[in-house]
Amino acid sequence: MGRSTVGRVMLRLLDQIWPGHPDTWKGVRERLTPVIGNLLRLTVGGVLGYLVTLLVTDGRVDLTGALTALLVIQASAAGSARMGLVRVGAVVIGIGVALLVSLWVGLSWWSLGLVIFGSLILAKVFRLGDQLLETPISAMVILAASGQQILAENRVLTTLVGVSVGVALPILWPPPIPVPSAAAAVRRVAQSLAQTFREAAEHFDENPVTGEAVEQRLRSARTATTAIGRASEQIDAVHDIWQWNPRALGRADVVPLLRSGLESLQTCASACRALFMAMLQQAPDALDPQDAFDDELRSVFAVVLRDTGECIDSFGRLVEAETRGAEAELEELLRDNMELLMETRAVLTELMLVTTHEPRQWVLHGSILRVLDEILASLDADHRARARAEWRSRQASRPLPSRATSSELPVMYDRTWLRAIRSAGHRGD
């Protein structure tokens, strides 16, 4: 076996063990460059937690303060405060359970089980979320020390030190606000929906409407739901990072713009699914002379689908441009596309009135027109302009976030961390 063969085998094995590993040093650099600032923030937080602990405690120093700072630091100061509050609560509850048990019995297998179970019960009751395990951990540490009051006080103190560092650091060293990332995510939703309409237009322009073809379009439409969820999470990230962030001082809050834009696209996504569901109910499984579309009607319908996709795409571009203050040209493009869609919709309506004879055709064609009206209403350029004007009046002429205050989504604010923050700060388990 030659060296090249061995190398290929090793690479395949590495792919199985470590999927997504960087192949080149360039790949390593690309992964580290956007997140290095946040990694440094975590490192500084851990070191500061340790140094402050040295200043406020006597005797043997543990690393609880540093550990707490690492666990508490989030991409936003508000998120850090919520996480810190929950962690302090977890530690206090665990210590309380341990002290109560140690007053009556010492450490044994059954007292250990009682402390763990009782701590977990209370953690669930108080909805401590991701900090749930900190409650029995703190309890076990104190129980092992036979409930020493000094040790309990020291653990609470070092936890408070870590929480203080974790909350203060995002304020003193604020992370960038990922407005461009959130805006791009909204545009990707629009692109996904637009592509669904364009593919449907291309297919039905040359092929009859069958159940199999419509079902394929429906699956494509449902994929937009994933993009909507990701965009919503990134908008939530911008909202949380914005709070208590010095970079946001004096800047216009673009979150309402992004949310309203995403809501409009979500309406379009629902309408898209409703359209193909209605078509699926009426479409034959195979070629059928009784198809609800003749060649001319199907051709016009394809044009309407294509125009709808263009409207959705231009709307997504408009929402993204609004966060930069560059919406004028794209707003005009949206108006032009909307006018074109209304014209082709009118042609489709007239042709449906002429060619529709059977009740099932009336039902389908009525559903199509209703969906188109819903999309037109959700993308209305005049309504969007009025909403943007109202938003600007509420912002009191504050400037938009600059590139200096914005960046890509921080590493600490991926979806896993976001769920942890929401769980700990709002819902719990």
Domain ranges of the chain: 39-172, 179-421
Alpha-carbon distances, residue 160 vs 85, 179, 202, 382 (angstroms): 9, 32, 62, 52
DSSP character string of 133-154: THHHHHHHHHHHTTT-HHHHHH
What confidence tier does 147 reach under pLDDT thresholds 50, 70, 90? low
Q: How far apart are CA 129 and CA 85, in angstroms?
A: 12
Burial letters 18-44, b for 16+ CB under 10 A, else e: eeeeeeeeeeeeeeeeeeeebeebbeb
How many contiguous H segments (helices) and E segments (strands) does the chain have?
A: 17, 0
- pLDDT per position as a tens digit, 154-210: 888 888 998 999 889 888 888 888 899 999 999 999 999 999 999 999 988 887 777
- pLDDT per position as a tens digit, 90-118: 888 988 888 888 878 777 888 889 888 99
Q: What is the crossing angle of helices 77-102 and 149-172, to 10°?
A: 180
CATH superfamily entry for domain 179-421 = Phosphate transport system protein phou homolog 2; domain 2 (1.20.58.220)
β-bridge mates for residue 406, sequence order:
177
| pTM score of the predicted model | 0.76
- pLDDT per position as a tens digit, 271-326: 999 988 888 877 666 555 455 566 788 889 899 999 999 999 999 999 999 999 88
Q: How far apart are CA 320 and CA 333, in angstroms?
A: 14
CB neighbourhood size of 376 (10 A): 17
State the amino acid at position 360 in one-letter form.
R
Nearest partner of 368 among 313, 292, 263, 311, judged by Cα: 292
Does residue 18 register a pLDDT over 90?
no
Q: How far apart are CA 60 and CA 57, in angstroms?
A: 8
- pLDDT per position as a tens digit, 398-419: 888 866 556 544 444 443 433 4
Burial letters 342-365, b for 16+ CB under 10 A, else e: eebbeebeebbeeebeeeebeebb
Burial letters 306-330, b for 16+ CB under 10 A, else e: bbbbbbbbbbbbbbbbbbbeebeeb
Q: Which residue has the tokens 């993204």?
A: 320
Burial letters 156-192, b for 16+ CB under 10 A, else e: bebbbbbbbbbbbbbeeebbbbbbbbbbbbbbbbbbb
pLDDT at 322: 94
Q: How far apart are CA 342 and CA 348, in angstroms?
A: 10
pLDDT at 146: 66
* Residue spans of alpha helices (H) in 173-223: 179-206, 211-222
pLDDT at 100: 85
